[in-house]
Amino acid sequence: MYAWSDVFLVFLVLTNLVLLGSSRLVVYIRVSAVQGIVLGFLPILTHLHDATPRLLLLTCLGLVTMGVKGVLFPWLLFRALREANVLREPRPFVGYIASTIIGIAALAVSLRVGSRLPLPGEAFSTLAVPVGLYTFFVGLFLVISRRKALTQVLGYLVLENGIYTLGVALVSEVSILVELGVLLDAFVAVFVMQIAIYHISHEFQSTDVDRLAKLKG
Amino acid sequence: MQALLLWGMLLVPMAAGGACLLIPSARRVLDVAAAGVIASSALCAGAAAFVFARGPIFSAGGWLFLDALSAYHMLVMALVFSLSGLYARGYFAHELDAGELAPAQARQFGALFCTSLASMVLVLVSNNLGVMWIGIEATTLLTAFLICVHVTPTSLEAMWKYLLVCSVGVAFAFLGTLLTGASAHRLHLSTSDALLWTRLRAEASVLDPLSIKAAFIFVLVGYGTKAGLAPMHTWLPDAHSQAPAPVSAIFSGFMLNAALYCVLRYLPLVEGATGSPSFCLDLLAAFGLVSIVVSAAFIVFQHDVKRLLAYHSVEHLGIVTLGFGLGGVGTFAALFHTLNHSVCKTLAFFCAGRLGQRHGTHDMEALSGTLRTAPPWGGALFGSLLALIGVAPFALFMSELQILRAAVDGRSFWTLGIFLAGGTIIFLGALRHAVAMAWGEPHAAPAPDHPGALDRFLAWGPLALLLVLGVWMPPPLGDALRQAAMVLGGGP
């Protein structure tokens, strides 16, 4: 099953590149939903070779992940999209072509760093740690370089996805309870951010974060 | 019995928060919030006293525990929250009288205030490093809407920055948590034992040194963001200045310390794995010094009293971090300074909040002459600012002196020099503001209000406590400090 998990991980890399080069918010949300579904498969694939009670638990975790990251988050974000009435990320602080090039460079760095880290050999795929790191960096880059509040939330989600991948890869022994707690936190975070966007778009008639620049010094 | 206490500390504030949502009258909501917070604080203090007398408490298969370090922080938390709960009742009552607070806003405040206490208790009682992280992230999410109890453009801006900077920052800490788990791969821990601090601590020498070092860097940057250490402090002045005063008080008085506490948990692990404490301590000292220097630069040029206090938080968290970084006596002094700063800053935000309500602004120019026009708050604000800049014989002076001694003992003269230079700039800069506010020519003086007995207690009580602690260390407190410092391998 190792081959399959590699396919999913490579797919994750491709979705990140789409995010970096896209300007339409609808595309952002759909791609993040696809990422959520892909992530749901990862914990199941790690233990597919032995049919233990742990596999059952991990399958449950995978299904919950798909439900939350693949369905619930996109739904919340589409609602925020309608409320804020924005369709595009018009003028990001870093352009799309530059973003894509930075993304490819980050991929090279992640592959290099990820394969050098002295980590336990039990990771289910040699690609998992580099791809997790890469997704983390792409999320971080999106938070920093985009102007719309909604895109920043998506960046935060992508960053969470990177952590989730690393969590599955590094510590296959992390308790399911902790994983579920992290998922719950992410859910509340997106929920809170969605409400915040609603207030911001009402108060400022815009969700450009560079309007939020009154408090200084 | 003790296990019940641990669960009670978590469940009582959650129940109080839930109750706040159901009560129609805004005044009753504030009463329930204050009562709930005080009841939970009493439980926390009881549990802490038990730990100091008899040793750590465990529950839930070892997932919940309380040792001397967390018990000490729990005492600080109990003090800050019960004072803030009492103060919030009076503070928001003024806004209700002025028609500036709707019942729905009061319910929102009560519910989030109580549940944020529950999340901070979760941080302190979790033995599992992953659950501890969940607690810290929960404090961010629960307190975000406390910043904008009053929805204004500036409060929304502060809230958005807080939410995003802290969520992203704390994500780094989770990466550190995962790396810590990965560094323990030679221990072959079972699923329920992985990430348990007591297990990792007991077998720290088997942890992979390189992974745990990398983990510590991520943890320090991540939780350091939440603790307001420079240069990751950018959210802090905005959030502290825009939040209502009782919220600023718990932010500065305890939330920052809760995040720093999480970093402290990793010190014995890294020390055990690498065989020497110097890696962590040097990093802590460096972040502490940067925070002191950065805050000094901003304190001199402040106009807004709450922003001034916010930068003082960066400074004092820097001093505490520096103390931990010096080790030995420094650890003891840093823990003592934690208590002193929390009490002092809680008081300072109380005063700034009430003065701001009376004058309708937090601009220091407008607040000049408040020593005469607005007792007791003007007087207490002056007193607390003096304590914050390290005037003797307040307790903050004593703990700072001990940190200086630790620097001399460790022969780190560069550290000593930078600390003293930063402290001097802050002393002069803040003293100028404090004197202008106390004795300046009063502008339009609003009608004098009549402070009740509770107001006077809230204004003078903490200041009296700081004076007493400055000249006399009660033996039980000294013992608690020594036990807490021992967990970190430091102490006189």
User: What chain B residue is nearest to A182 in terms of C-alpha separation?
Assistant: B134
Per-residue model confidence as pLDDT tens digits over B112-144: 999 999 999 999 999 999 999 999 999 999 999
Query: Is residue A116 within 8 angstroms of chain B, CB to CB?
Result: no
One DSSP character per residue, B297-318 reads: HHHHT--BHHHHHHHHHHHHHH
Q: Do A174 and B242 count as a contact with CB atoms less than 8 A apart?
A: no
Domain housing A67: 2-206
pLDDT score for A80: 86
Query: Is residue A192 within 8 angstroms of chain B, CB to CB?
Result: yes
Residues sharing a CB contact under 8 Å with residue B22, sequence separation 6 or more, in sequence order? none
Task: Judge whether A16 and A95 are in contact, CB under 8 Å.
Answer: no
Residue with token string 């971090």: B321
Residue A215 lies inside a defined structural domain of this protein: no
CA distance B423 to B219: 27
Residue A116 structure tokens: 């050098």
Query: Is residue A136 within 8 angstroms of chain B, CB to CB?
Result: yes
In angstroms, how far is CA B100 from the centroid of its own chain?
A: 28
Residue A217 lies inside a defined structural domain of this protein: no
pLDDT score for B186: 82
Burial class of residue A208, CB neighbours in 10 A (0-12, 13-18, 19+) = middle
Residue A37 lies inside a defined structural domain of this protein: yes
Q: Do B192 and A175 count as a contact with CB atoms less than 8 A apart?
A: yes
Torsion on CA atoms B77, B78, B79, B81, rounded to nearest 10: 80
Residue A58 lies inside a defined structural domain of this protein: yes
Average pLDDT over residues A161-170: 85
Q: Do A193 and B163 count as a contact with CB atoms less than 8 A apart?
A: yes
What is the domain partition of chain B in residue ranges? 1-127, 145-273, 277-492
Distance from CA of A7 to the nearest CA of B (A): 24
Burial class of residue B111, CB neighbours in 10 A (0-12, 13-18, 19+) = buried
Per-residue model confidence as pLDDT tens digits over A23-59: 888 999 999 999 999 998 888 887 777 667 778 888 8
At B97, which amino acid appears?
D
pTM: 0.94
Residue A108 structure tokens: 């090279």
Q: Do A175 and B241 count as a contact with CB atoms less than 8 A apart?
A: no
Q: Is B363 helix (H, G, I), strand (E, B) or coil?
A: strand
Residue A104 lies inside a defined structural domain of this protein: yes
Residue A184: list chain B partners with CB under 8 A: 134
CA distance A117 to A114: 6
Q: For chain A, how many structural domains are there in total?
A: 1
Question: How many Å from the N-terminal Cα to the C-terminal Cα in chain A?
Answer: 55
Higher pLDDT, A3 or B147: B147
Q: Do A171 and B181 count as a contact with CB atoms less than 8 A apart?
A: yes
Distance from CA of A167 to the nearest CA of B (A): 6
Q: Is B80 helix (H, G, I), strand (E, B) or coil?
A: helix
Residue A134 lies inside a defined structural domain of this protein: yes
Q: Do B164 and A136 count as a contact with CB atoms less than 8 A apart?
A: no
Per-residue model confidence as pLDDT tens digits over A94-142: 888 889 999 999 999 998 888 777 666 555 677 888 999 999 999 999 9
pLDDT score for B440: 87
pLDDT score for A172: 61
Low-confidence ranges of chain B (pLDDT < 50): none
Higher pLDDT, B142 or A90: B142
At A51, which amino acid appears?
A
Residue with token string 């991990």: A58
pLDDT score for B392: 86
Residue B490 structure tokens: 């430091």
Q: How many CB atoms lie within 10 A of CB B271?
A: 21
| Phi/psi of residue B128, nearest 5 degrees | -80, 125
